[in-house]
A and B are shown apart, each in its own frame.
Chain A
Amino acid sequence: MPITDLHTDIVAEQLSSKFPEEHFTADSNCVWVPSTIIVNVCSFLKTEKDFRIDYLNSITAVDFIDHFDIVYHLSSIETQNRITLKCHLYGRDDLSIDSVLDIWQGADFQEREIWDLMGIKFNGRPNMKRLLLWEGFEGHPLRKDFL
């Protein structure tokens, strides 16, 4: 059975009815989620029977100078669906977002890598250390202002 992309507006609609106080925007290829509730959204997507998003493909951070995007590529092996979530993080210093490690263990190394190379901390998880570079390295090399 081939994997299909979930309709972003349907996902955004479902999320809006589950979290009425929050604002979700459906883009052509992703759903924008407020960064403060990313963990609630992810665990809803994982447990909700229509979605069953059980597999975290990848987490990425992109530096846009005035803000960062955190991109979650997710899929479901059970229902053969795919969805991309994105969050905005504004500012450059002391950035952090809640960790999804409790939901998907596959987030472990990827979150550490983002802290290491992009300088975004993940709250509520153990072992929040650099992954590739050594402790004591100054700066976060994938940021646009590093070099």
Chain B
Amino acid sequence: MNIKTEPMTINIGPQHPSTHGVFRIRVSFDGEDIVEVEPIFGYLHRGTEKLAEERNYVQIVTLTDRLDYTASMTNNQAYCLAVEKLLGVEAPIRAKYLRTLTAELQRIASHLIAVGFFLQELGTFGGTPLMYAFRSRERILDMFEMLCGARITLSYMRPGGVFWDTSSEFWEALDSFLEDFPDELSEMEDLLLNNEILMVRTKNVSPLTAEKAINSSLSGPVLRASGVKMDLRAIDPYDAYNLVEFDVPVGANGDNYDRFWVRMQEVRQSLRIITQCKDQIEPGPYRLELPKVIRAEDGAEAYATVEAPKGELGFYLVSDGSISPYRMKIRSPSLINLSAINQMLVGWKLADMIVTLGSIDINMGEVDR
């Protein structure tokens, strides 16, 4: 007997714990299988690009904190590099090392959130890995507090360098973090990397080919999981990345497991970079003496990108010679990483959808801006 079925449409979000903020996605199902997805954006749109046109170059640093609020350090970095490119100046070497070091700490913190929530969304671990991840992330936030007094919205970097030099308290905390964290990470890896439940739920689920990933402009761990060795820190080094050694881990299948695995490997590489920065850094000026109110040349423009934890974060600045940028465009990795969402979700089940969204690791502050 043939039973006539009709597709059913379900709205997930904007208020849903798995959507990492206020993301809404309209999904049509045939039974449990996804047949159509339509992401709907804009619930956290604050008009950052328009706001920037009314503020001076230093004030905008605080706006960038509020893009991807789990990685404000790298947002600051991308913006400051764009302003420096616009002005044709370079930060002193100590500032470059401090930026590289803090950006890598931020990458660890952001990847810990990504991995922790990804595992939470599998619904099988009862929160243990998330608590492991947050235990380590907390120590990074403590270090940020020692650097600049803030834990989330840091504004630590400024055009020409960093806001303040470090205290001895920070270096002591960093030493003890570098001593403890590898063991904490091993603990997570032992629990997870060969975990059978995790393998069954994520291996070969929502795979994405390299060709598709490149064509959809994906970047960051999502692109590298598909086997594309593209890391801006390696191919277009900024700050002190040309002075340190690290590897770029890539996945093989581009499935949910690989996206998770690449992040776990990147945390190890970040630790390597941090250790090298700590060993190589020397006393010296930590900020350029720029004018209090920065003005760029009329008609000057600059596009600077960094490898943020989520992917390629770019700032495109156009100047008209005034104290504010004439136009500031943010190339948001979280938004563009959703470009392939149709290929990743259609044909898979509802329960996989939540996990796949977790594996892309979006942040709504950055998607909507």
Residues of A with Cβ closer than 8 Å to B?
Answer: 1-3, 29, 54-58, 60, 62-63, 71, 73, 77, 80, 84, 104-110, 117, 131-134, 141-142, 147
A132–chain B nearest beta-carbon distance, Å: 4
CB–CB B340/A132 < 8 A: no
Query: Are B47 and A54 in contact, CB atoms less than 8 angstroms apart?
Result: no
- Residue B237 interfacial (CB < 8 Å): yes
Contact, CB under 8 Å: B316 / A58: yes
**Are A58 and B331 in contact (CB-based, < 8 A)?**
yes
Q: Is the CB of A54 within 8 A of B215?
A: yes
Please list 26 pairs of residues, one from A and one from B, whose beta carbons are closer than 8 Å in the complex, sorted by A's number. A2-B236, A3-B235, A29-B301, A56-B217, A57-B314, A57-B331, A58-B303, A58-B329, A62-B318, A63-B327, A73-B331, A77-B230, A104-B216, A104-B217, A105-B216, A105-B217, A106-B218, A106-B336, A108-B339, A109-B41, A131-B41, A132-B45, A132-B368, A134-B42, A141-B47, A141-B50
Cβ distance B311 to chain A, nearest Cβ, rounded Å: 11
Contact with A along B291-314 (1 / 0, CB 8 A): 000000000010101000000101
Contacts of B185 in A (CB 8 A): none
Cβ-defined contact, A57 with B42, below 8 A = no
Q: Residue A142 contacts which of B42, B50, B215 (CB distance < 8 angstroms)?
A: B50
Quick one: which of B218, B236, B316, B326 contacts A3, CB cutoff 8 A?
B236
Known A54-B215, A142-B49; contact A60-B336, beta-carbon cutoff 8 A: no
Q: Is the CB of B316 within 8 A of A131?
A: no
Known contacts: A1-B235, A106-B215. The answer to whether A133 contacts B316 by CB under 8 A is: no
Inter-chain contact B215/A133, CB cutoff 8 Å: no
Tell me if B228 is interfacial: C-beta within 8 Å of chain A. Answer: yes
Closest to A112 in B: B41
- Residues in chain A near residue B369, CB distance under 8 A: 132
Report which of A71, A77, A141, A142 forms a contact with B214, defined as CB distance below 8 A: A77
Kindly state whether residue B335 has any CB partner on chain A within 8 Å: yes
Report the minimum CB–CB distance from B125 to chain A (whole Å): 32
Chain B residues packing against A (C-beta within 8 Å): 41-42, 45, 47, 49-50, 214-218, 228, 230, 235-237, 301, 303, 305, 312, 314, 316, 318, 326-327, 329, 331, 335-336, 338-340, 368-369
| Shortest distance from the beta carbon of B51 to any chain A beta carbon, whole Å | 11
Complex alpha-carbon distance, A84 and B314, angstroms: 14
Given A71-B316, A109-B336: A54 and B214 interface contact (C-beta under 8 Å): yes
Given A58-B316, A73-B303, A134-B42, A105 and B215 touching (CB < 8 A)? yes
A147 CB to nearest chain B CB (Å): 8
- CB-based nearest B residue for A29: B301
Q: Are the CB atoms of A110 and B336 closer together than 8 Å?
A: yes
Shortest CB distance B245–A (Å): 15
Whether the Cβ atoms of A131 and B42 lie closer than 8 Å is yes
List 20 additional contacts besides A1-B235, A73-B303; criterion CB under 8 Å: A2-B237, A3-B236, A55-B214, A57-B314, A58-B303, A58-B316, A60-B316, A77-B214, A104-B215, A104-B216, A105-B216, A105-B217, A105-B340, A106-B218, A109-B336, A110-B336, A132-B41, A132-B369, A134-B42, A141-B50
Shortest C-beta distance, B305 to chain A (Å), equals 7
B316 contacts A109, CB within 8 Å? no
Q: In the complex, what residues of A have CB within 8 A of residue B303's CB? A: 58, 73, 84
Are B41's CB and A73's CB within 8 A?
no
Residue of B nearest to A134 (CB): B42
Q: In the docked arrangement, what's the CA distance between A108 and B237, Å?
A: 28
Q: Which residue of B lies closest to A107 (CB)?
A: B217
Q: Given that A60-B329, A62-B318, A84-B303 are known contacts, is A133 also in contact with B217, CB under 8 Å in the complex?
A: no
B336 closest partner in A (C-beta) = A106
